[in-house]
Structure 1
Amino acid sequence: MASESPPIAPSSSPLQRKTSQAVKYPPVPSVCIVTGGTGFVGSRLVEMLVERGAQKVVSFDVVPPPEDAWRHPNIEWRVGDITDKKAVDELLSIPNIGCVWHNAAAVGPYHPRDLYFKVNYEGTLNVIESAKKHGIQKIVFSSSPSTRFTGEDVDGLTEEQMPKLPLEKYMQTYAETKALGEMAMTSACTNEFMTVAVAPHQVYGPRDNLFLPNLLEAALNGKLRIFGPGYNRICFTHVDNYCHGLILAERALYPNSPALGKFYIVTDGTTHPEGNQYLVFWKVLDEAVVGMGAKSLWSKAHLPKGLLLFVAAICDLFGKLLGITTKLNTFSVIVLTMHRWFDIAAAEKDLAFKPIIGFREGWDETIVWFRENWLPNQQRGNGWLGIAKSTQKKIDIQDQSVKKAA
């Protein structure tokens, strides 16, 4: 009698479907918890855990699951706030939890300052406290390379070569609060309560609601230009590669493992152009811009970095005075002009990580997905003054939830 085929998430792209069936992946825990489970990364992680054999995956997120969320019997979509201790404690009281993937976060540079501390730091403390209380032994923490950014180029560094936490000064509140959360996880790590932090860099893929929507919206409105010369090197991470790294990290948690309490970065690795671990950011972004039917960014005048920093400082002040969010800010100018790519040898060694989707095929499919699924719903917006509606919607829900709890 033939064995039953593994389930495949119905919202998966053709490439994601193919990859999920390509090889037999290592087993995952029977009972899994994913905080932030309706986000771009979180929802795909939920799907991949079920595809790899999890019997119960509970997604916990302040944002309700979208209409097209996978209604599989092994998935529970639970709405709750990571800043609510009682809700977190109830979540982690579920019997036989094999691992908690802590992805819940206020992400990006667009949230109110207080919300970052409530969600990214205090929410993480709630998870640690409750997990210990209920005897959960494994937590995989979703971190960010920005926790180590100082504004200097990161040109092919390993994790060990990057600045150590805590930094004297952080480039944005998101990075500061993610660093606080990561340090709390690392401090709590023992052979009985095992933790590890894993970060991607520039996540992309079908259903992205932060990175590409905001840049493409600005491009379609004629407001995007290349910052500086345009040859800064960075690395990308397909969402499936990141989720694969997060899943492998759970298997690396065992007593005296070299991964205990460590920080790892996973990317598309040497599947980047020409076998390097990086790409030229503005060249690759332009492929997506042209793919949406817009004029090539390279056909327009570049914007000098010095001028951009001056204008960004004005935008920062303008935003503070009026309480609005602008896409153009000092942080965005710096990160869109600096080199920021990494050598992922440590993740390859300690986590046995290798990309399961190559950059070229992943990026090409992402462009097609945005042209077919995102582009038809776009309307003329505010360029650099506003942010994408999908981004703003999640910000509003998170902010309202925290205010209600307070």
Structure 2
Amino acid sequence: MDHPIPIAPSSSPLQRTTSKSGSYPPVPSVCVVTGGTGFVGCRLVEMLVERGASKVISFDVVPPPKDAWHHPNIEWRVGDITDKQAVDELLSTPNIGCVWHNAAAVGPFHPKPLYYKVNYEGTQNIIESAKKYGINKIVFSSSPSTRFTGVDVDGLTEEEMPSLPLDNYMQTYAETKAMGEMEISKVCTNEFMTVAVAPHQVYGPRDNLFLPNLLEAAMNGKLRVFGKGYNRICFTHVDNYCHGLIIAEKALYPDSPALGKFYIVTDGKTHPEGEQYLIFWKILDEAIVGMGFPSLWGKAHLPKGLLLFIASICDVLQKIFGIILKLNTFNVIVLTMHRWFDIKAAETDLKFEPIIGFREGWDETIVWFRENWLPKQSKSKGLGGIAKTTQSKIDIQDESSKKVR
């Protein structure tokens, strides 16, 4: 008699249907997910259990969220990847089939030293402990920003993008993620197999970084279309990214074409004419209007040159006073440049196909935010600050890193 597929109680109707109806390859019996309480990490933990893992250990400096799935196959372990002893204890667990290394200091808002400790030194700790305890598979969660130079990325493949290391990086996050990825790729052999997989612009129910910050700015009347507003972009539903991470483990075998490589996975063909891009500000406006806020397209657009000038001043203010401002040079550039990718490499080497279509995934995400995020919001004044969920995680990560010596 077949056992029913376990389904995470916090998953959305679309996520439930996709998990139940899909035919997916088996996963390792024992799995480790670093950064397992984050937006992506939490969903990855859930999907590994839904696909048959008997034990999934989430390892994160941030405690599990209130709606965390307390399934007997999940262990929510609080720990810091910058703590070598804690990482050793984690990876000494018997029979670990793969480590999904998602833990990172993400975005442009953390203190600079934290990026190096978490994204680079933390990755080194994972590699060293994995080797020490005979674990021979690591799937590394990377970022396309590791290859961004400020020049448009208009439908490029991974091979057509700049190779690492870059001469200059647009932000410390990108630089330190690149450093971590290079370490992962450098150690890859037929005996110790690694691969790096990245999404682009992850969205979905329970997102605590991308949409909350932009929607909060729109709610407070602080958001306008940057530039002309027709920059092309691709999106990745959180389940599509987690699916890409999970099946990447299957591509780790001796002499695999994926060994040591970097792949980008997205929602694929999202344009009505079959292209793999969307118009960013048009799509974002759907979510803004979906919250009941005024459309951005009825307001004056902000010229890119003016924004860059103001952002440069904001950059200086942040350095002098140690404050966080949403407007910075990096954000202006990424919100006005073309950034979409051709995912044929992931389709070929990883056998990746999106499991959730963009249109249905985006529509459900808007509904989720209207029903779950919006009722908890209150308007604020000023240009400073970021979403509470984002700031809370930053504070926890920074405090933990200060304790580890």
TM-score after normalising by structure 1: 0.99
2:270/2:278 contact within 8 Å kept = no
Partner of 1:372: 371
Partner residue, 1:77: 76
Q: TM-score, normalised by structure 2?
A: 0.99
1:404 to partner: Cα distance: 1.3
Q: CA deviation at 1:380?
A: 1.2
1:156 matched residue in structure 2: 155
AA aligned opposite 1:256: D
Where does structure 1 lack aligned partners over 5 or more consecutive residues?
none
One-letter amino acid matched to 1:325: I
Give the letter for the 2:3 counterpart. Answer: E
Deviations 1:98-141 (CA, angstroms, capped at 9, x unpaired): 00000000000000000000000000000000000000010000
CA separation in 2, counterparts of 1:384 and 1:12?
33
| Secondary structure at 1:132 match in 2 | helix
Tell me how far apart the structure 2 counterparts of residues 120 and 288 of structure 1 sit (CA, whole Å): 31
In 2, the alpha carbon distance for the partners of 1:322 and 1:121 equals 27
SS at match of 1:83: coil
Q: How far apart, CA to CA, are the structure 2 residues paired with 1:56 and 1:62? A: 20
Deviation at 1:3, TM superposition (A): 1.2
**Aligned counterparts, 1:265-304, within 5 A:** 265-304=264-303
The match for 1:257 is 256
Q: 1:21 to 1:272 in 2, by over 3 A?
A: farther
Alignment partner, residue 328 of structure 1: 327
**1:7-406 matched pairs, under 5 angstroms:** 7-382=6-381, 384-406=383-405
SS at match of 2:273: helix
Pairwise CA distance, 1:387 = 0.2
Q: Aligned pair in 2 of structure 1 residues 27, 338: CA closer, same or farther (>3 Å)?
A: same
Q: Where does residue 2 of structure 2 map in the other structure? A: 3
Cα deviation code 1:260-308 (max 9, x no counterpart)? 0000000000134432100000000000000011000000000000000
- For 2:383 and 2:274, locate their aligned partners in 1 and report how far apart those are by CA, in whole Å: 34
Structure 2 distance, partners of 1:381, 1:87, is 40
Does the Cα contact within 8 Å between 1:101 and 1:141 map onto a contact in 2? yes
**Partners of 1:217 and 1:383 within 8 A in 2:** no
Q: For each residue in 1:52-108, what CA deviation from the matched residue of structure 2 results, as whole angstroms up to 9, or x when unmatched?
A: 000000000000001110000000000000100000000000000000000000000
Q: Percent identity?
A: 81
- Taking the aligned partners of 2:324 and 2:200, their CA distance within structure 1 comes to 23
SS in 1 for 2:100: strand
Q: Equivalents in 2 of 1:317, 1:337: separation in Å? A: 21
Distance in 2 (CA, whole Å) between partners of 1:171 and 1:339 is 15
**8 A contact 1:273–1:279 mirrored in 2:** no
Once residues 70 and 214 of structure 1 are traced to their aligned partners in structure 2, the CA distance between those partners, rounded to angstroms, is: 25
After TM superposition, the runs of 4+ consecutive aligned structure 1 residues lying more than 4 A away are: none
Instruction: Give the superposition deviation at 1:382.
Output: 4.0
The alpha-carbon deviation at position 383 of structure 1 amounts to 5.1
- Which letter does structure 2 place at the counterpart of 1:366? T
Between 123-132 and 268-277, the greater mean CA deviation after superposition: 268-277
Change over 3 Å in CA distance of 1:310–1:162 after alignment to 2:
same
Whether the aligned pair in 2 keeps the contact of 1:201 and 1:235 (CA below 8 Å) is yes
Instruction: Provide, for residues 318-362 of structure 1, a one-character-per-residue CA deviation record: whole Å limited to 9, x for no partner.
Output: 111111111100000000000000000000000000000000000
* Other structure's SS at 1:21 match: helix
* Structure-2 separation of matches of 1:299 and 1:373: 26
